[in-house]
Amino acid sequence: MKSIMLEKDIAKKGIVSGAVKKIAKEEDINPEELAKKVAEGKVIILKHRGKYLGVGEGTKTKVNANIGTSPEVCDISLEIEKLKIAEKYGTDTVMDLSTSGDIDKIRKKIIEKSNVPVGTVPIYQAAIEAIHKKGAIIKMDEDKIFEIIEKHAQDGVSFITVHCGLNLKSIERLRKNPRKSLVVSRGGAFLISWMISNEKENPLYKNYDRLLEIAKKYDLVLSLGDGLRPGGIIDSTDSAQIEELLTLGELTKYAWENNVQVIIEGPGHIPINEIETNVQLEKKICHNAPFYVLGPIVCDIAPGYDHITSAIGGAIAAWKGADFLCYVTPSEHLSLPGIEEVKEGVIAAKIAAHAGDIGKGIKNIKELDFSMDIARTERRWEEEMKIALDKEKFKKLRNKFPLKNKDVCTMCGKYCAIKIVKKYLGTKVIC
Ligand code: SF4
């Protein structure tokens, strides 16, 4: 296989690549400035079948939807339906987290059907194959991990989660500072059990060079995972989490020296007053690499509504500088999400990203909101529905009760505040 030009390398040479030009147009930003940010690692480029997506400083906050089978629910057609509903409501990427069935086949199908970049967590497959072939995760073969990573890259995966910052030092930190919520990252749990049982260093940390070689071969973006993210706000921003982040900062610099693009994954569960600190820590320690937060969920009392707890956290995180939000669905902590939960999760994360972008001051980001404001004031219901993120819900609720007067809604009816004020104030709406 002949070597390919790496986006980071191109940008470092001061060249504005075709991908940068397309992203700059899409994001309405200056291509030279964008190329500089790619060179500095502040923005990464995800590629998928000739399309490009920019994630990072100055670009709109992006949203990811996790799909994939579980040992309990394994239906490839359901996962494709989830992919399509996630795309319909505007997800920017999907991650295939499948842990059962023919994982290779499922991944290939998702890549084939997806119109957005696809990410995976290859350690899942390595661990599951170890269970099937050798009877236990702790028998996972080190070489196999890298073979699977390369297979995912060959198939066309755009980014992979790799828990490279989880090392023996961070496990020691965890032991010295015990947690109530233990470890909730599946990849983190697989690696911790392997490292403790085999008394060996994490292969993804120890053989980071081998991983970088694969990433360079395919211009694969590494999403440096947070295997030690706290599983509840009871342990938020604790020493194990910070220990891992410190290592990720070092690994980020080393990846950049090798022209490999990285994203940093972050928690998880963070109380609202610690979100800004977490964003600042990541940006400072990881040299302004894009921050990909999993939620964050801001309180732990609302199972069934964690798309809301995470949207609150996601909006604040995005406002304060996070670049990429992983959605959380109402099924979080309860079950594998179905189609409806995927829809709700994507919409909640899109709202969070958009609200955060308004706070960030992304150029022209408020245009649609302003159009909605004017359409609402003039009660142009069709126009309002066109702008609405969820048009079906708009229609359903608009028609929930019989409409006696189609000019207003059933909230105030003939006492429509807007109509009353317009009559007496006589003000024309100014766009
Ligand atoms: S009836 Fe009330 S809620 Fe409905 S459009 Fe008029 S002011 Fe708004």
* Atom 6 of ligand 1, nearest CA residue: 416
Contacts of 334 (CB under 8 A, 6+ apart): 303, 304
What is the residue whose two structure tokens read 């069709």?
382
* 316-330 pLDDT, tens digit each: 999 999 999 999 999
Return residue ranges of the chain for CATH 3.20.20.540: 60-360
CB 269 within 8 A of CB 300: yes
412 lines ligand 1 (CB under 6 A): yes
Find the 419 Cα to ligand 1 centroid distance in Å: 8
Report the distance separating Cα 38 and Cα 87, nearest Å. Answer: 26
Residue whose CB lies within 8 A of the most ligand 1 atoms, among 376, 399, 403, 411, for a mutation test: 411
Q: Given pLDDT bands bounded at 50, 70 and 90, which one contains residue 20?
A: very high
Burial 218-244 (b: 16+ CB within 10 A, else e): bbbbbbbbbbbbbbbbebbbbebbebb
Would you put residue 177 in left (φ > 0), alpha (ψ -120 to 50) or beta? beta
Residue whose CB lies within 8 A of the most ligand 1 atoms, among 377, 381, 405, 416, for a mutation test: 416
Residues 106-126, mean pLDDT to the nearest whole number: 97
CATH 3.50.50.60 fits 60-360, yes or no: no
Q: Given pLDDT bands bounded at 50, 70 and 90, which one contains residue 364?
A: very high
* Polymer length in residues for the chain: 431
Report the distance separating Cα 211 and Cα 222, nearest Å. Answer: 9
Residue whose CB lies within 8 A of the most ligand 1 atoms, among 408, 421, 425, for a mutation test: 408
**Which of 105, 204, 114 has the alpha carbon at shortest distance from 160?**
204
pLDDT at residue 3 above 80? Answer: no
What per-residue confidence (pLDDT) applies to 4?
A: 86
* 383-421 pLDDT, tens digit each: 999 999 999 999 999 999 999 999 999 999 999 999 999
417 lines ligand 1 (CB under 6 A): yes
* Atom 3 of ligand 1, nearest CA residue: 411
What per-residue confidence (pLDDT) applies to 426?
A: 75
What per-residue confidence (pLDDT) applies to 166?
A: 95
Residues 34-49, mean pLDDT to the nearest whole number: 98
Angle at 145 between CA 141 and CA 149, to 5 degrees: 160
- The fraction of the chain above a pLDDT of 90, given in percent, is 95
What is the residue whose two structure tokens read 């007053």?
273
**Which of 401, 287, 393 has the alpha carbon at shortest distance from 40?**
287
What per-residue confidence (pLDDT) applies to 427?
A: 63
Residue whose CB lies within 8 A of the most ligand 1 atoms, among 414, 418, 429, for a mutation test: 418
Residues 269-287, mean pLDDT to the nearest whole number: 98
411 lines ligand 1 (CB under 6 A): yes
What is the residue whose two structure tokens read 């002949």?
2
339 lines ligand 1 (CB under 6 A): no
409 lines ligand 1 (CB under 6 A): yes
Contacts of 326 (CB under 8 A, 6+ apart): 63, 64, 66, 95, 292, 293, 294, 295, 349
* pTM of the model as a whole: 0.95
* Atom 4 of ligand 1, nearest CA residue: 409
Residue whose CB lies within 8 A of the most ligand 1 atoms, among 379, 412, 423, for a mutation test: 412
Instruction: Specify the ligand 1 atom closest to the Cα of 376.
Output: 5
Lowest pLDDT segment from 82-86, 101-105, 179-183, 426-430: 426-430
375 lines ligand 1 (CB under 6 A): no
Contacts of 313 (CB under 8 A, 6+ apart): 270, 272, 275, 293, 295, 296, 297, 298, 352
Instruction: Specify the ligand 1 atom closest to the Cα of 415.
Output: 1
1 lines ligand 1 (CB under 6 A): no
Find the 392 Cα to ligand 1 centroid distance in Å: 20
Q: Rounded to the nearest 10 degrees, how much is the dihedral formed by the CA atoms of 272, 277, 283, 284?
A: -170
Find the 311 Cα to ligand 1 centroid distance in Å: 26
